[in-house]
Structure 1
Amino acid sequence: MINDDKVISSLDELESFLMAIESGVLGLQNVAGVALATNNADGRHFVAVLDDKHQLLLGRWVTEEVFKNGQDLVRNGSKPTH
């Protein structure tokens, strides 16, 4: 499911990750959405990048704090700086 052990541990890191997705820097194709989710196998939280068929394109582990406090950021997207 998630190929690496990178963990997003702050809201700033989450925002940077979302901006990378939105800008296309990660090279993902057919991105339809982003969600915070919980792995059924072990209960760990992650941010999921999904395609239009709700298939996981990329996942990144997140800390409990980011899971609890980052939901609005994931829901509304990152805010570009001017």
Structure 2
Amino acid sequence: MNNELDIIDNLEELERFLISIEDGGLGLKDVAGVALATNNTDGRPFIAVLDDKHQLLLGRWVSQEVYENGKDLVRNGPKRTKH
């Protein structure tokens, strides 16, 4: 989460991010889940990609709107259509 400009600021972008995790497009190993969380230091919201030991594999800042309105999308997963 070092790139302050790399913020997910709408639900469509959040859905694309979740799909890329599911598809393995980010090259992450041992992904067990994702969660919306807040930074303990400053309260900023982010999406966390976690391994099976609940260790952070990847985090991306999200806007307050995405944090408030994206919980169902994170909980239930993206609603992709099958081709």
What TM-score, normalized by structure 2, do the two folds share?
0.94
Alpha-carbon shift at residue 3 of structure 1 (Å): 2.9
| Distance in 2 separating the partners of 1:81 and 1:32 | 23
* Structure 2: runs of 5 or more not aligned: none
Taking the aligned partners of 1:25 and 1:66, their CA distance within structure 2 comes to: 22
Report matched runs for 1:14-33 at 5 Å: 14-33=14-33
| Aligned residue pair count | 81
1:62 CA drift (Å): 0.3
Q: Which residue of 2 aligns with 1:4?
A: 3
Partner of 2:50: 50
Give 4+ residue runs of structure 1 displaced > 4 Å after superposition. Answer: none
The alpha carbon displacement at 1:60 in A equals 0.3
What SS does the corresponding residue of 1:8 show, helix, strand or coil? Answer: coil
What is the Cα deviation at residue 81 of structure 1? 2.0
